[in-house]
Copies of this chain bind each other. A is one copy, B any other.
Amino acid sequence: MSEPKRNRPEIGMLLFPGLNFLDLIGPHTVLAHSANVHLIWKNFDLLTVDLGIAVKPTTSMENCPKDLDVLFVGGGPGLTDAMQDRAFLDFLADRGGRAKYVTSVCSGSMLLGAAGLLRGYKATSHWAFRDLLPLFGAVPVHQRVVIDRNRITGGGVTAGIDFGFTLLSILFGENLAKAIQLANEYDPHPPFDAGTPEKAGPQITQAVLAQMGPRLEKVRELARKMNIQ
A residues whose Cβ falls under 8 Å from a Cβ of B: 1-3, 20-22, 25-26, 28-29, 32-33, 37, 39, 46, 50-56, 58, 106, 126-127, 144-145, 155-159, 161-162, 165-166, 169, 174-175, 177-179, 181-192, 194-197, 199-200, 204-205, 207-208, 211-212
Contacts and interface: CB of A to CB of B under 8 A. Distances in A.
Given A54-B55, A179-B207, A200-B182, A161 B158 contact: yes
Number of copies: 2
A54 B25 CA distance: 13
B204 A191 contact: no
A128 to B, nearest CB: 9
A130 to B, nearest CB: 10
Given A25-B21, A126-B185, A194-B182, A53 B39 contact: yes
A54 B56 contact: yes
A55 to B, nearest CB: 5
For the complex of A and B, list the 8 residue pairs with the smallest distance between their C-beta atoms, beginning with the closest.
A187-B195, A156-B185, A2-B52, A178-B194, A188-B188, A54-B56, A22-B29, A157-B184
Contacts of A208: 179, 182-183
A186 to B, nearest CB: 4
Contacts of A39: 53
Contacts of A182: 194-197, 199-200, 204-205, 208
Contacts of A50: 2
Given A22-B25, A29-B157, A182-B195, 14 more contacts: A2-B50, A3-B52, A28-B53, A37-B51, A53-B55, A54-B55, A144-B187, A145-B191, A157-B183, A162-B191, A169-B191, A179-B208, A183-B212, A187-B196
